[in-house]
Amino acid sequence: MKYIPYGHQSIDEEDINAVVQVLKSDWLTQGPNIEFFEKALCAYTSAKFAVAVANATAALHLSCIALGLTSEDYLWTSPITFVASANCGLYCNAKVDFVDIELDTYNIDVDVLEEKLVFAEKNGKLPKIVVVVHFAGHSCKMEAIKKLSMRFGFYIIEDASHAVGGEYNNVKVGASVYSDITIFSFHPVKIITTGEGGAALTNNVELYDKLKKLRTHGITKNVNEFVNVADGPWYYEQVDLGYNYRMTDFQAALGANQLKKTDRFVQKRQEIFAYYVRSFAKYDIKLPTIRDNVVSALHLFPILVDAKRRREIFEELLRLNIGVNVHYIPVYKQPYYQRLGFPKCYCPNADQYYACTISLPIYASLPEEALAFVVRSLSTFYECNVAV
Ligand SMILES: *Cc1c(COP(=O)(O)O)cnc(C)c1O
């Protein structure tokens, strides 16, 4: 069997043509397709504003700056995430801390969050920002988190890198109903892709203006924002310290075309999800949970197996050319974070999850034979090697 990765893009002729068309046009970097893609993101999610950027990490970084995160502040996030959800705090020289996960969705545990906030309030160490991660595409308990943010006064960034196309309380993730900013990633393994790419969505016009300026060096060409009188028609001002975090116009054209297919992609993932659940229900495997008020975008299919056999199962699947993966090593275990002083076993649930988890392949373009092979391979392992 040909190597089966855990995630893969789904690109068709229409996507290719969309990119080629832009390559033949006058605009290669940020041009009309950026605005078109941003409008399409707003229409799809019902967020008021969207800012397309180079990648989700850049979107997280700019969001932290736009929300005013400094070296005086704390940023909290989940330990079961890609390192970028935490690194964005360090980019701003803020202090980063982790809130343990719940063991059904593997998202940030709202009760643990509340306890930690009560304690932090007493010590005067409340976070300025909490980055909640919709792990595997399943939304966090946003209503409860929003309530806590009003009680304790912190900003909320939704890291929805996994959750493009997902829903919470019948509203698309990205609408930012319960948060200040929502982040999307368009990396090829995610739900839709632009190669590299990301976006920040918000309903707050001030944040939107800041994000847009920060994406291009902190430069404005808007006369109303000028500090000084314009020298002439060429004039622009740098009013903030921003970055070059722009997305190219051909990436945006790809993104807009991919976005049209989001619901179809998620539906394909749902079919794969259902097939896995049916196939593995009889084995001693913990399968992902989906809450009633959530449509998960199903970026990942993490299973939990006996910790003592995880490595053996992982290696056996890898030997069969199945590109299993582990999402994620708790961020505080990374050497860089260890140097910042985090204990090796900082969050018990995250540690327990990490000891058992394996991500199985799931993506819209996963061929049926490949899916059947994954199911057969893991089933065979359980039939032959594990006493049930
Ligand atoms: C992929 C990912 C990111 C970073 O996305 P890039 O677009 O590669 O920068 C951030 N957070 C999470 C949870 C991710 O999975």
- pLDDT, tens digit, for every residue of 81-131? 999 999 999 999 999 999 999 999 999 999 999 999 999 999 999 999 999
Compute, in angstroms, the gap from residue 163 CA to the centroid of ligand 1: 11
- pLDDT, tens digit, for every residue of 43-74? 999 999 999 999 999 999 999 999 999 999 99
220's tokens = 């404005």
Mean pLDDT over residues 335-357, rounded?
Answer: 97
Pocket residue to mutate for ligand 1, from 60, 85, 87, most atoms within 8 A of Cβ: 85
Q: What percent of the chain has pLDDT over 70?
A: 99
Q: Is the CB of 133 under 6 A from ligand 1?
A: yes
Mean pLDDT over residues 252-262, rounded?
Answer: 98
- Helix runs in the chain, H state only: 13-23, 32-45, 56-66, 84-91, 110-122, 142-152, 205-215, 249-259, 262-280, 310-319, 335-339, 348-356, 368-385
- Residue 104's pLDDT is what? 97
Q: Is the CB of 212 under 6 A from ligand 1?
A: no
Q: What is the mean pLDDT of the chain?
A: 97
Q: Is the CB of 56 under 6 A from ligand 1?
A: yes
Compute, in angstroms, the gap from residue 227 CA to the centroid of ligand 1: 36
Compute, in angstroms, the gap from residue 236 CA to the centroid of ligand 1: 33
- pLDDT, tens digit, for every residue of 200-240? 999 999 999 999 999 999 999 999 999 999 999 999 999 99
* φ/ψ bin of 232: left (φ > 0), alpha (ψ from -120 to 50), beta (otherwise): left
Q: Is the CB of 4 under 6 A from ligand 1?
A: no
Round to whole Å and give the CA distance between 65 and 83: 18
Mean pLDDT over residues 335-363, rounded?
Answer: 97
Q: Is the CB of 158 under 6 A from ligand 1?
A: no
- Residue 216's pLDDT is what? 97
Q: Is the CB of 161 under 6 A from ligand 1?
A: yes
Compute, in angstroms, the gap from residue 60 CA to the centroid of ligand 1: 9
Mean pLDDT over residues 136-143, rounded?
Answer: 98
Mean pLDDT over residues 140-160, rounded?
Answer: 98
Crossing angle, helix 32-45 and helix 249-259, to 10 degrees?
30
Q: pLDDT category, 1, cuts 50, 70, 90?
A: confident
- pLDDT, tens digit, for every residue of 280-296? 999 999 999 999 999 99
**Cβ atoms of residues 30 and 246 within 8 Å:** yes
Residue 388 pLDDT exceeds 70: no
Place of tokens 């989001």: 262
Compute, in angstroms, the gap from residue 58 CA to the centroid of ligand 1: 10
- Residue 387's pLDDT is what? 54
Pocket residue to mutate for ligand 1, from 51, 82, 91, 326, most atoms within 8 A of Cβ: 82
324's tokens = 């299993």
In 3D space, the residue among 121, 122, 55 whose CA is nearest the CA of residue 87 turns out to be 55
Task: Determine the 3-state secondary structure of 387 from DSSP.
Answer: coil
Q: Is the CB of 55 under 6 A from ligand 1?
A: yes
